[in-house]
């Protein structure tokens, strides 16, 4: 009788042990699957116009198998904003496994045409050369300025005072006389240290001089509006160096 009881108890223990082991394995698999739910596998990037998505994924680095709770928003924002083209990066978590990245890129307003070309935005921040963008960009060239490369640190404001002044001029034109801005091929400094604009068509030269640039741009805008069917490019030269006068010379 005792042998039968012992045998039954042994069977029960084996059964309980087997059941416990099976439950442990099932719980382990369930926990593993549960944890995998939180593994990052969905990252979306929006707002990028100049850099490609792949460029941003290269900046972010490898994030596969990282759980969303371990994804440090500030660290990755700093990584992204360390790129000269990125003005701001807003990152948000969307549980269980999605990250959304909203990029605000710096938009180039001109190309600095030195031996090494640079892009520059409206805040005079230097951006690295981006061949694909430059090839298709319809923005003015800046030429005739100090070509020393140390004046143009990437990701920082240019140290060139004249380039800063040129950018301020272009920004004012873009904000107040956009049609004229779209016609500008080049903004340069002439031999007399005066700002001079060359338009895309013909090409018409517009000499702005050294001072009262905003006033002169407004005069030029009114002159253009008064032309009716004619265009600024119907003139070979528009000289604005003489006070509030505009001296116009037609093409011969």
Half-sphere exposure for 105 (CA within 13 Å, toward CB): 19
Where are the domains positioned within the chain?
A: 1-37, 42-105, 108-250
| Residues 121-147, mean pLDDT to the nearest whole number | 89
Strand partners, 141: 111, 186
How far is Cα 240 from Cα 157, in angstroms, rounded to an integer?
A: 29
Report phi then psi at 233, rounded to 5.
-75, 0
Average pLDDT over residues 189-206: 93
Q: In terms of DSSP bridges, do strands 247-250 and 235-239 run parallel, antiparallel, or are they unpaired?
A: antiparallel
pLDDT for residue 162 is more than 60: yes
| Bridge partners (DSSP) listed for residue 99 | 43, 93
Predicted confidence band of residue 95 (pLDDT cuts 50, 70, 90): confident
The two most distant CA atoms of the chain are separated, in Å, by: 128
Please tell me the distance from the alpha carbon of residue 141 to that of residue 186, in angstroms, as a whole number: 5
CATH superfamily of 42-105: membrane protein fhac (3.10.20.310)
Q: Per-residue confidence at 28, pLDDT binned at 50, 70, 90?
A: low
Q: Distance from CA of residue 80 to its chain's centroid?
A: 11
| DSSP H or E stretch at residue 250 | strand 247-250
Give the Cα separation of 38 and 190 in Å (integer): 62
Nearest CA-CA partner of 68 in 46, 35, 44 = 35
Which comes out higher in pLDDT, residue 39 or 10?
39
Q: Which residue has the tokens 């039968």?
A: 4
Contact between 112 and 149 under an 8 Å Cβ cutoff? The reply is no
User: What stretch of H or E contains 170?
Assistant: helix 161-176
Note the pLDDT of residue 125: 97
User: Helices (DSSP H) in 38-145: which residue ranges?
Assistant: 53-60, 73-81, 131-136
CATH classification (class only), 108-250: alpha beta
Chain centroid to Cα 135, Å, comes to 17
Q: Do domains 42-105 and 108-250 have the same CATH topology?
A: no
Tokens 């895309």 identify what position? 200
Calpha distance 15→143 (Å, rounded): 87
pLDDT of residue 32: 45
Supply the pLDDT for residue 30.
56
């Amino acid at each position: 009788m005792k042998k039968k009881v012992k045998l039954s108890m042994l069977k029960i223990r084996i059964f309980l042990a087997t059941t416990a082991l099976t439950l442990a394995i099932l719980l382990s698999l369930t926990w593993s699957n549960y944890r995998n739910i939180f593994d990052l596998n969905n990252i979306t990037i929006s707002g990028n116009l100049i850099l490609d998505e792949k460029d941003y994924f290269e900046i972010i680095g490898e994030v596969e198998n990282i759980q969303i709770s371990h994804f440090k928003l500030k660290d990755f924002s700093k990584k992204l904003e360390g790129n000269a083209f990125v003005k701001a990066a807003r990152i948000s978590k969307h549980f269980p496994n999605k990250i959304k990245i909203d990029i605000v890129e710096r938009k180039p307003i001109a190309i600095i045409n030195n031996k090494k070309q640079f892009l520059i935005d409206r805040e005079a921040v230097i951006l690295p050369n981006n061949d694909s963008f430059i090839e298709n960009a319809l923005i003015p060239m800046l030429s005739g300025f100090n070509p020393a490369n140390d004046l143009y640190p990437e990701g920082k404001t240019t140290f060139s005072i004249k380039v800063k002044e040129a950018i301020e001029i272009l920004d004012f034109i873009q904000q107040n006389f956009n049609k004229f801005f779209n016609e500008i091929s080049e903004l340069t400094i002439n031999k007399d240290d005066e700002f001079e604009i060359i338009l895309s068509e013909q090409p018409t030269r517009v000499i702005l001089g050294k001072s009262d640039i905003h006033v002169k741009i407004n005069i030029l805008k009114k002159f253009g509006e008064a032309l009716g069917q004619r265009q600024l490019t119907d003139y070979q030269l528009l000289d604005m160096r003489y006070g509030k006068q505009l001296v116009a010379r037609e093409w011969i």
